[in-house]
Amino acid sequence: MPNLYLKKANENLPDCITDTIIPDTSPRILEKGDRIILDLKNHYVGYFSFTMNYVDEYIDAPVRMYIKFCETKQELSDDFSKYREGLCASWLQEEIVNIDFPGVYKMPRRYAARFIQITILNTPKKLMLSDFEFSSVTSADNNTLKNPVIHDPELEKIDKVAVNTLKNCMQRVFEDGPKRDRRLWIGDLRLEALTNYYTYNNLALVRRCLYLFAAAERNKSGFVPSFIYENPIFVSGNCFLEDYALLYVVSICDYYQHTKDNDTFTDLYDVMKAQLDAAHARIDNEGIITVDENSDVFIDWCEGLKKTTSMHGVYLYTLCQFVDILIKRKHKDVGIYQERLQKAQESAKHILYDKNKNKVINAKDNNQYSVHSTVWMILGGVISGKEAEEALQNALESKESIKPFTPYMHHYVIEAMYKLNMKADAVQYIKKLWGGMLALGADTFFEVYVPGNPEFSPYGDRMVNSMCHAWSCTPAYFIRKYLI
Ligand code: RAM
């Protein structure tokens, strides 16, 4: 079967749509030590080429250049040689190229950039650079992009940048970041696909990504890997985040709700079931999912975050969507999953939530108080209405609670707000977070943005952060779904 999944995934490779950007029309005469900066005027993903020629005399030695591709202005002044290695330094987009002869020079690699900086490291003679071209690539087709009227000017700007973020991550798959990691991650896919339904509506791309995960090698428990590679060959990822495995099921449910594509749902049914059954096997004798040294769970990039409550919430959230579809389809398995959902919700009410304090706090997570636990209990249907609204407000305002870090987790905070009909709070939250990135001049939204701490990186050095990151594109989804 996995091969069949792969065959289906590769039936229609996405069309690659290209656009040519000419950052500068004037030729530049340069000597050793000179530096120029080209501004593409927006963030793009693609391929760069230019022409090199001699000026007075033929250049009788190779010309050596240092070329740096920068997603933001700040990167132009970053010294990549000072990078404190957390992730591999080769993610930094820099090249030393040696050009032997005059003519057109096409750089073979794909880059994600707004700015291109060229430094002439060595040349015996003057040279001329001209015909700069950046061929941008994406599988997002502007002809299918919905262009709704957004009356609030700040939200309109946020929407535009969010759509640009999505567009640049839409390649052969929904990449997480076109600079880094350039692969298909489940958590990112789920949010990109959601936003895609309200923007480009490229359904073939979503379907392809869903089949790719079905084709992947699962671990002993039956969980799908959290990421895969597919270019030039298919390779399963070696990381098994259990919340991501469940969100894969959610992604199929979202896709089904949006398309009513029965064939895909039926094809992928056993893989979905395997994810839910693997999670069910982790339920302890108190009815709560186990998170321990044998399980890997993401939730957010917060140091020291306890994850049992959130993981249990992700499990409930997934079951809710799954059961909803099984009911609609009058599926024979509905009873099994409905019963599991009810039981797991009941256990959560008793064990994970303190009703007297109206606080999501419990011994399973060493009484740690976090926005994450509160949000996932709301999304999992454990608390609702005014009680939930108050619990969420308190968690967000409390000095003691752990707060979300990534735009990924912020997405789920906002989703919880909309579930509770807290529309004004949701808009304020979007403006504070994504508006904050806009104020920094964002052309695309970042992988991490911590207000007041612009240097923060989960990898130990900001230079390797991805500044166009899929999981940050969802304001376009919220704005288009709820505010228009
Ligand atoms: C990082 C990336 C990716 C995310 C994983 C969990 O490698 O930011 O987008 O999904 O973490």
DSSP 438-481: HHTT-SS--S---TT-TT--TTS-GGGS-SS-GGG-THHHHHHH
Alpha carbon distance 165, 306 (integer Å): 31
pLDDT digits (tens, 9 = 90+) for 413-436: 999 999 999 999 999 999 999 999
pLDDT at 155: 98
Average pLDDT along the chain = 97
How many Å apart are CA 303 and CA 368, to the nearest integer? 13
Measured distance CA(397)–CA(253) in Å, rounded: 33
| Ligand 1 centre distance from Cα of residue 28 (Å) | 40
Measured at the CA of 324, the angle between CA 323 and CA 325, to 5 degrees, comes to 90
User: Does residue 260 carry a pLDDT above 70?
Assistant: yes
Name which of 121-125, 244-248, 307-311, 452-456 the model is least confident about.
452-456
Q: Which pLDDT belongs to residue 352? A: 98
Return the amino acid letter for 194: L
pLDDT at 25: 87
How much is the pLDDT for 23? 95
Nearest-CA residue for atom 6 of ligand 1? 298
Residue whose Cα lies nearest atom 3 of ligand 1: it is 176
For 403, list phi and psi in degrees, rounded to 5: -105, 155
Judging by DSSP bridges, how do beta strands 94-99 and 111-122 pair with one another? unpaired
Q: How many helices (H) and strands (E) does the chain have?
A: 14, 11
Work out the number of other CB atoms within 10 angstroms of the CB of residue 204: 13
User: 56 C-alpha vs ligand 1 centroid, how far in Å?
Assistant: 51
Going by pLDDT thresholds of 50, 70 and 90, the confidence category of residue 250 is very high
Instruction: Report the separation in Å between the CA atom of 183 and the middle of ligand 1, taken as the mean of its atom positions.
Output: 9
pLDDT digits (tens, 9 = 90+) for 72-131: 999 999 999 999 988 999 999 999 999 999 999 999 999 999 999 999 999 999 999 999
- Measure Cα distances from 139 to 41, 440, 468 in Å: 21, 28, 16
**Position in ligand 1 atom list of the atom nearest CA 186:** 10
Q: Which strand (E) or helix (H) includes residue 38?
A: strand 35-54
Residues with CB under 6 A from ligand 1: 176, 181, 185, 187-188, 298, 447, 471
Give the SS3 label for residue 409: helix
Rounded to 5°, the CA angle 448-162-248 comes to 70
Structure tokens belonging to residue 117: 């900086």
CA 333/CA 336 separation, integer angstroms: 6
Give yes or no for residue 325 having a pLDDT over 80: yes
d(CA 393, CA 153): 27
Mean pLDDT calculated for residue range 395-410: 97
With a cut of 80, say whether residue 2 has pLDDT above it: no
Question: Do the Cβ atoms of 377 and 313 come closer than 8 Å?
Answer: yes
Q: What is the greatest pairwise CA distance in the chain? A: 85
Q: pLDDT class for 294, splitting at 50, 70, 90? A: confident
DSSP lists the bridge partners of residue 37 as 117
For residue 12, the model assigns a pLDDT of 85
Q: Is the pLDDT assigned to residue 1 strictly greater than 80?
A: no
Rounded-to-integer distance, Cα 138 and Cα 443, Å: 16
Quick one: pLDDT band at residue 258, thresholds 50, 70, 90? very high
Say whether 190 sits in a helix, a strand or coil: helix
Closest ligand 1 atom, CA of 187?
10
Calculate how far, in angstroms, residue 72's C-alpha sits from the geometric centre of ligand 1: 20
Q: Which residue has the tokens 């919700």?
A: 345
The two three-digit tokens of residue 136, written as one number: 């941008």
> Which whole number is the average pLDDT over 195-205?
98
Residue for token digits 């994450």? Answer: 372
